[in-house]
Amino acid sequence: MDSTTNRRHTRQRQVILEEIQKLDTHPSAAMLYERVRKRLPKVSLGTVYRNLDFLAQAGVIQKLNTGSAEARFDWNPEIHYHVRCSQCGRVDDVHDAPADLVDRKINELQGFDILGHQLQFIGICPDCRLLDQKVH
């Protein structure tokens, strides 16, 4: 497939984008595949992966490397922080954290021109914490 074909706006890519934008979670490719397949029954998991990677590289969505086996995806391409549950893998946005502050501080200290960054906090989500309390 040449680069012109990769840039073409496809129905599959549009449906994948629409489905991720409906979610307030940070789904894996497999989770999105299940949703997309309801609208496009013949779509393959590989097609979903390729299109998610394309959309992330194009800056339309974010690909989050969470330290687990599966990457997660975020429909919001703006720089913002995330928190991940170390028990269930849930990923949420961290609101009201000044992302530009980190860029400015690193620039001041190291002299780098910061192009972007990802910062992830790791903890235990409220659901897992509640579950843990019931077990003990």
Q: Is the pLDDT of residue 46 over 90?
A: yes
Residue ranges of the alpha helices (H) in the chain? 3-7, 11-21, 29-39, 45-57, 99-110, 126-135
Instruction: Name the residue with tokens 């914490």.
Output: 129
pLDDT of res. 130: 85
pTM, rounded to two decimals: 0.73
Name the nearest CA neighbour of 69 among 89, 96, 92: 89
Local confidence band at 9 (pLDDT 50, 70, 90 cut-offs): confident
Name the nearest CA neighbour of 84 among 127, 121, 132, 31: 121
More confident residue, 41 or 129: 41
Task: Encode pLDDT of 111-124 as tens digits.
Answer: 777 676 677 788 99
Start-to-end C-alpha separation, the chain: 55
Q: Is the pLDDT of residue 14 over 60?
A: yes
pLDDT of res. 4: 37
